Amino acid sequence: MVTTATQFTTDYLEAVRAGVTDAVAASLPAGGPRDSLYSPLSEFVGRGGKSIRPGLCIAAARAHGVVTERVMPSAVALELLHNAFLVHDDIEDGSLSRRGLPTMHAEHGVPIAINVGDGLAALALQPLTQNLGLLGTTMHNRVMAEFTELLRMTIEGQAIELGWRAENAVDLTGDDYIDMVALKTCAYTTIFPLRIGALIGTSGRADLASVTRFGLYLGAAFQITDDLLNLTGDESRYGKEIDGDIAEGKRTLMLIHLLSTTERSDRDFLIDFLSRTRESRSPEDISTVGEMMRARGSIEYGRQYALALADLASEAFEQAFGSLPDSPDRRFLSEAVDFVVSRDL
């Protein structure tokens, strides 16, 4: 059963973060332009994160017995790509803080932020070229195919969510939400990092259906927990503004639950609230929506939903990686399930 994130998982991710941060830093250009590109880019990457994506990729490869060097370029590419997505997501969402500091566009303006995001996406391609020498032509191409699918799914998932907001969609279901999250979050956070690591670790023979299943359950639990933290977390640890998702009108599982269970008058209030721009949503109304979620049991609903997905992920882990010999990497993959639903940052 799900309990708390273990110290082991935290230590493992810290080790990954240190290694990936060094590799990312080494891949950043030393020249210019500094003020409008590489300085803000380096500062943003240097803020660090949980490193869950490179961690899963590295662990999935190493659990099969390969050395870290063979998978590190792909792990670094995933981390740079994640940073690129964050910069653009924060613009799209109008978010103000990221990793405890102002978002890129809040600090440098939207034009520079868009370009820095593009720069990070371009830099993410660079380490992938090393796979040609490390893994051979066939596996290099295979990894590139995984990355192209990852990119398309993530962008399509983001488009679905942005479309919901633009259309003020209010009749969504949990199924709609999970389908969207599978593309927007799971693809680049869990599914493809795990698939790429497993492919490299097995020279292409991994049971990718099982790995995909594990990745989707894990990633969906991760996203719901992230959205719960946005409602209930400690801002100083979480690093983003609390209730920011409500302010943005983000269609979280909890909001979808609230919309589908609330009484007519409250629903009318919600539909009106969501139809407004972020700037015209008052702090009082944002607080009211949060209170409605608590009163309607939407937060507990989200928590139970995440725990159910975590249980599914634990079962899927056994199919995907359970037969591998004991190792720190296999243990990390197993305990990642507890980590994603019990984390507080």
Partner 1 sequence: MSHQDADQVREEAYRAAAGAVDRILDRIGIPGTDRLGEVGHASWDRFQAELGRVVDLNLDMVRNAFGLYSTLLDPESLRGPGASDVLVLGPVVPGGTAGSVLWLHNYDDEPVTDVALVGSVLTNTGSGPANPPQWTFSPSAVTVPARSAVPVMVELALPKDAPVGDYEATVTPGGGPGEPVSVRVEVVAPSPVAHDSW
Q: Which is nearer to partner 1, 92 or 156 (CB)?
A: 156
C-alpha torsion sign, points 102, 106, 107, 110:
positive
Instruction: Please state the closest distance from residue 41 (CB atom) to partner 1, in A.
Output: 23
Which residues does 173 contact at the CB level (< 8 Å), separation at least 6? 256, 260
Give the pair of three-digit tokens for residue 118: 């593009």
Instruction: Please state the closest distance from residue 125 (CB atom) to partner 1, in A.
Output: 14
Q: Which helix (H) or strand (E) holds 102?
A: strand 101-102
Q: Which is nearer to partner 1, 16 or 116 (CB)?
A: 16
Instruction: Please state the closest distance from residue 133 (CB atom) to partner 1, in A.
Output: 4
State whether residue 97 is helix, strand or coil. strand
State whether residue 98 is helix, strand or coil. strand
Instruction: Please state the closest distance from residue 147 (CB atom) to partner 1, in A.
Output: 9
Cα diameter, the chain: 63
Crossing angle of the two packed helices 7-27 and 110-128, in degrees rounded to 10: 100
Q: Which is nearer to partner 1, 281 or 294 (CB)?
A: 294
Asked if 279 and 323 count as a contact pair (C-beta separation under 8 A), the reply is no
Instruction: Please state the closest distance from residue 333 (CB atom) to partner 1, in A.
Output: 13
* Alpha-carbon gap, residue 303 to 288, rounded angstroms: 20
**Cis preceding-peptide flag for 33 (omega within 30 of 0):** yes
Q: Which is nearer to partner 1, 66 or 116 (CB)?
A: 66
Give the pair of three-digit tokens for residue 8: 């082991």
Which residues does 304 contact at the CB level (< 8 Å), separation at least 6? none
Instruction: Please state the closest distance from residue 247 (CB atom) to partner 1, in A.
Output: 26
Give the pair of three-digit tokens for residue 340: 């994603």
Q: Which is nearer to partner 1, 142 or 343 (CB)?
A: 142
Instruction: Please state the closest distance from residue 300 (CB atom) to partner 1, in A.
Output: 5
Closest CA to 74 of 220, 211, 188, 152: 188
Q: Which helix (H) or strand (E) holds 141?
A: helix 137-167
Q: Which is nearer to partner 1, 63 or 120 (CB)?
A: 63
Instruction: Please state the closest distance from residue 154 (CB atom) to partner 1, in A.
Output: 12
Q: Which is nearer to partner 1, 212 or 230 (CB)?
A: 212
Q: Which is nearer to partner 1, 104 or 191 (CB)?
A: 191
